[in-house]
């Protein structure tokens, strides 16, 4: 009887297990096979280990692993099938992490691969949103340490470090590595410089070729983009520094950045021994020194930027630099210079489609100094808002030796302001030094009510200057309202210029030598087409524009002075003596 009862109990147990848990899991020598959803419940506080004593792999197959909590991988993990570039893991609320840097997961359903082989890292500021999505999170103090860690974790071939929205407080330079793209999320990504140790790099971001620091090519193929760099009023600190150091840094680009607020000798972008530096679509303001300065550098491109309230120069290139291209920039209330150095030429400058906007009391908008080969074309020069006393032209060809040579200034528009309550307009173009220059097809409006000059050639250092096809309009007749004024220079050639609403079209001073005036010299509402006191002045094709007098006595009585041309009633060309 007891044996019968025992058999019955065994049969009941077998029946129960075979219709529940054991119906869905079949244990064999090398597999666990399930036919329906199954669970392994270890109870509170217990741990389930998957272990292979021979250190072989444990794989998930091709399906998905669903986690209700967290998974920690203490080694590496391999998931054999990637669908649409996603790891086949799902977490419904926990984190998937690995101390080997293989897998991380930010939030439910978002997987990514990180580690030493990855070429993109994200860095959150201490005040960024969704910090659990980032690979690195800064603390809000000395955040360059966190950013540097992300940069240093990139492979040797380069990669991208993305700075999320928020403020990164820095106390020393961030150093690039070869092939880095340091990218923010726009103006809301702010690198805020503060008191700290800025020597010897002296910039917020430094691309530096130094084998002893980040590598002999660490300053090559670098892009910094989409962020605000606030220099924090620090003196002798730049926003971005392209520093060749041991060898020229090449292909450094600053794009879509706002760089501002430096102290004395603080720059926006500074390049030393740099090649192919590009600064584009960026904004510079409130800087203690130049917005962009290059020294001993070649092939610099400045494209589509805006400059405002720069303490020194918008763009500066020293005597060791050349090949600067400026296109489509807005330059407000400061200057662009070629070089301060003397005795050395710099070559290869082009200024195209820029807007030079000058406010009250500013210096020249563009100074060409020591340049060999420069093209200034299609620009707008506007200082129409000027009302204070100032004495600089918008464009100056400097007399500093060696004088600028082989220059073309063509197809530009000048809208000049006035000083002394509207009485004086200073020149649109002033040629104080040149060795072969062509000034052609420019439009100049000069509204001074007592004194104005469209183009002024005023120095013995100016020679071989051709001024042709320009249109110069003033505000009316007046003793000192002149379209083109020539003094002290030699061999200036004037041809086919158009003057409107001026007292005098062309004025040749006694100090000028060998000036040639060729018509037709179109004039509208100009009282005197030409006044001449120069030596060896020659005329061609302009007699129909000249005043008519019977003889020299009549010409003098009519107000002409020695050297002024006139014609007789029969069309004979004469010069007053």
CATH number reported for the structural domain that contains residue 126 in this entry: 2.160.20.10
Q: Which segment of 267-281, 369-383, 385-399 scores lowest on mean pLDDT?
A: 385-399
Q: Where residue 260 falls among pLDDT bands split at 50, 70, 90?
A: very high
CA distance 356 to 517: 31
What percent of the chain lies above the pLDDT cut of 70? 74
Q: Mean pLDDT, to the nearest integer, of 277-282?
A: 98
Determine the pLDDT at residue 121.
Answer: 96
Q: Quote the mean pLDDT of the chain.
A: 82
CA distance 227 to 233: 18
Q: Where residue 93 falls among pLDDT bands split at 50, 70, 90?
A: very low
User: What pTM did the predictor assign?
Assistant: 0.77
Q: How far is CA 132 from the centre of its chain?
A: 33
Same-domain check for residues 409 and 528: yes
CA distance 307 to 281: 11
Same-domain check for residues 512 and 537: yes
Residue with the bigger pLDDT between 546 and 275: it is 275
CA distance 81 to 180: 30
Residue with the bigger pLDDT between 144 and 348: it is 144
**In Å, what is the CA distance from 189 to each residue of 150, 166, 231, 545?**
16, 5, 14, 64
- Kindly state the DSSP code that residue 86 receives in the 8-state scheme: B
CA distance 407 to 436: 7
Determine the pLDDT at residue 454.
Answer: 93
CA distance 564 to 547: 10
Same-domain check for residues 159 and 270: yes
Q: Which of 273, 235, 233, 238 is nearest to 254 (CA)?
A: 238
pLDDT beyond 50 at 65: yes
Determine the pLDDT at residue 274.
Answer: 95
Nearest-5° angle of CA 462, CA 468, CA 469?
A: 150
Same-domain check for residues 283 and 369: no
Q: Which segment of 89-98, 246-255, 356-365, 406-415 scores lowest on mean pLDDT?
A: 89-98
Torsion sign over Cα 318, 374, 438, 379: negative
CA distance 116 to 86: 19
* Cβ within 8 Å of residue 363, ≥6 positions away: 334, 335, 390, 392
Determine the pLDDT at residue 566.
Answer: 83
Residue with the bigger pLDDT between 458 and 425: it is 458
Determine the pLDDT at residue 9.
Answer: 56
463 belongs to a structural domain: yes
Q: Where residue 88 falls among pLDDT bands split at 50, 70, 90?
A: very low
pLDDT beyond 70 at 399: yes
93 belongs to a structural domain: yes
By residue count, the chain amounts to: 577
**In Å, what is the CA distance from 511 to each residue of 266, 399, 506, 514, 533?**
44, 17, 15, 10, 8
Same-domain check for residues 320 and 426: no
Q: How far is CA 107 from the centre of its chain?
A: 37
Q: Is residue 539 a contact partner of residue 545, using CB atoms and an 8 Å limit?
A: no
- Kindly state the DSSP code that residue 398 receives in the 8-state scheme: -
pLDDT beyond 60 at 30: no
Q: Which segment of 71-75, 378-382, 496-500 scores lowest on mean pLDDT?
A: 71-75
CA distance 4 to 466: 126
Q: Mean pLDDT, to the nearest integer, of 220-234?
A: 97
Same-domain check for residues 536 and 563: no
* Cβ within 8 Å of residue 85, ≥6 positions away: none
* Cβ within 8 Å of residue 275, ≥6 positions away: 244, 248, 249, 250, 251, 297, 298, 299
Q: Where residue 389 falls among pLDDT bands split at 50, 70, 90?
A: low
Domain count, the chain: 4
The H or E element that residue 499 is part of is: strand 498-508
Same-domain check for residues 407 and 356: yes
Residue carrying the six token digits 């197959």: 61
Residue with the bigger pLDDT between 352 and 533: it is 352
Same-domain check for residues 239 and 369: no
pLDDT beyond 70 at 168: yes
Nearest-5° angle of CA 17, CA 18, CA 21?
A: 60
Q: How far is CA 93 from the centre of its chain?
A: 44
Q: Which of 115, 146, 179 is the last residue of a domain?
A: 115
Q: Which of 324, 343, 370 is the last residue of a domain?
A: 324
Same-domain check for residues 438 and 472: yes
Same-domain check for residues 441 and 339: yes
Residue carrying the six token digits 């054991």: 22
Domain CATH for 441: 2.160.20
Residue with the bigger pLDDT between 234 and 19: it is 234
Determine the pLDDT at residue 416.
Answer: 84
Q: Is residue 404 a contact partner of residue 398, using CB atoms and an 8 Å limit?
A: yes
pLDDT beyond 50 at 140: yes
Determine the pLDDT at residue 433.
Answer: 92
11 belongs to a structural domain: no
Q: Map residue 562 onto helix, strand or coil.
A: coil
- Please report, in angstroms and rounded to a whole number, the separation of the first and last CA atoms in the chain: 156
CA distance 400 to 343: 9
Determine the pLDDT at residue 98.
Answer: 43
Determine the pLDDT at residue 43.
Answer: 67
Phi, psi angles (nearest 5°) of residue 509: -80, 165
pLDDT beyond 60 at 462: yes
Helices (H), 370-448: none
Same-domain check for residues 444 and 556: no
20 belongs to a structural domain: no
Q: Mean pLDDT, to the nearest integer, of 522-549?
A: 82
CA distance 182 to 229: 12
317 belongs to a structural domain: yes
Q: Map residue 507 onto helix, strand or coil.
A: strand
Q: What is the DSSP string of 316-355?
A: EE-TT-EEEEEES-EEESSEEES-S--S--EEEEEEES-E
58 belongs to a structural domain: no
Q: Which of 18-32, 42-56, 132-146, 509-523 has the highest mean pLDDT?
A: 132-146
CA distance 485 to 456: 5
Q: Where residue 111 falls among pLDDT bands split at 50, 70, 90?
A: very low
CA distance 389 to 71: 74
Torsion of CA 503, 508, 509, 511, to 10 degrees: 170
Q: Which of 217-226, 452-461, 480-489 has the highest mean pLDDT?
A: 217-226
* Cβ within 8 Å of residue 200, ≥6 positions away: none
Torsion sign over Cα 256, 261, 262, 264: positive
Q: Which of 305, 324, 343 is the last residue of a domain?
A: 324
Q: Mean pLDDT, to the nearest integer, of 437-444?
A: 97
pLDDT beyond 50 at 101: no
CA distance 201 to 319: 23
Determine the pLDDT at residue 22.
Answer: 42
Q: Mean pLDDT, to the nearest integer, of 318-335?
A: 86
* Cβ within 8 Å of residue 49, ≥6 positions away: none
Domain residue limits at 280 = 118-324
Same-domain check for residues 236 and 319: yes
51 belongs to a structural domain: no
164 belongs to a structural domain: yes
């Amino acid at each position: 009887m007891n044996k019968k009862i025992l058999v019955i109990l065994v049969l009941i147990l077998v029946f129960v297990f075979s219709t529940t848990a054991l119906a869905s899991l079949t244990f064999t020598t090398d597999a666990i096979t399930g036919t329906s959803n199954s669970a392994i419940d270890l109870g509170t506080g217990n741990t389930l280990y998957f272990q292979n004593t021979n250190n072989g792999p444990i794989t998930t197959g091709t399906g998905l692993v669903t986690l209700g909590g967290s998974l920690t991988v203490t080694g590496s993990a391999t998931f054999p099938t990637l669908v649409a570039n996603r790891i086949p893991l799902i977490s419904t609320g926990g984190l998937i992490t690995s101390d080997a840097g293989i897998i991380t997961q930010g939030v439910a359903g978002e997987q990514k691969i990180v580690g030493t082989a990855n070429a993109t890292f994200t860095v959150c500021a201490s005040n960024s949103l969704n910090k659990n999505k980032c690979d690195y999170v800064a603390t809000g103090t000395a955040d360059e340490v966190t950013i540097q860690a992300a940069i240093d974790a990139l492979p040797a071939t380069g990669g991208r470090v993305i700075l999320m929205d928020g403020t990164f407080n820095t106390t020393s330079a961030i150093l690039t590595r070869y092939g880095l793209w340091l990218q923010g999320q726009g103006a809301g990504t702010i690198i805020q410089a503060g008191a700290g140790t800025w020597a010897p790099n002296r910039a917020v971001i430094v691309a530096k070729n130094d084998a002893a620091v980040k590598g002999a090519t660490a300053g090559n193929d670098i892009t910094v983009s989409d962020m605000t760099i606030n220099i924090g009023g620090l003196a002798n600190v730049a926003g971005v520094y392209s520093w060749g150091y041991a060898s020229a840094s090449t292909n450094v680009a600053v794009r879509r950045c706002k760089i501002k607020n430096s102290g004395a000798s603080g720059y926006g972008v500074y390049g030393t021994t740099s090649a192919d530096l590009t600064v584009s679509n960026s904004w510079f303001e409130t800087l203690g020194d130049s917005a962009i300065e290059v020294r001993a550098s070649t092939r610099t491109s400045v494209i589509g930027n805006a400059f405002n309230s720069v303490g020194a120069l918008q763009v500066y290139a020293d005597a060791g630099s050349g090949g600067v291209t400026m296109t489509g920039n807005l330059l407000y209330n400061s200057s662009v210079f070629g070089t301060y150095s003397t005795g050395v030429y710099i070559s290869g400058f082009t200024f195209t489609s820029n807007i030079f906007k000058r406010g009250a009391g500013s210096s020249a908008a563009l100074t060409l100094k020591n340049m060999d080969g420069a093209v200034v074309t299609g620009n707008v020069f506007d200082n129409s808002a000027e009302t204070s006393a100032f004495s600089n032209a918008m464009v100056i060809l400097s007399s500093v030796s060696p004088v600028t040579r082989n220059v073309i200034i063509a197809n530009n528009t000048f809208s000049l302001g006035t000083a002394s309550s509207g009485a004086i307009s200073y020149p649109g173009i002033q040629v104080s030094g040149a060795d072969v220059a062509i000034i052609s097809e420019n439009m100049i409006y000069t509204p001074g009510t007592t004194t104005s000059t469209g183009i002024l050639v005023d120095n013995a250092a100016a020679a071989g200057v051709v001024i042709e096809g320009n249109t110069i309009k003033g505000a009316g007749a007046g003793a000192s309202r002149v379209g083109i004024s020539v003094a002290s220079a030699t061999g200036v050639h004037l041809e086919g210029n158009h003057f409107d609403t001026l007292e005098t079209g062309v004025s040749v001073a006694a100090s000028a030598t060998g000036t040639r005036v060729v018509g037709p010299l179109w004039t509208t509402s100009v009282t005197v087409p030409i006044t001449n006191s120069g030596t060896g002045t020659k005329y061609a094709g302009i007699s129909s524009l000249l005043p008519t007098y019977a003889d020299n006595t009549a010409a003098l009585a009519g107000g002409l002075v020695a050297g002024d041309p006139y014609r007789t009633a029969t069309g004979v060309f004469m010069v007053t003596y």
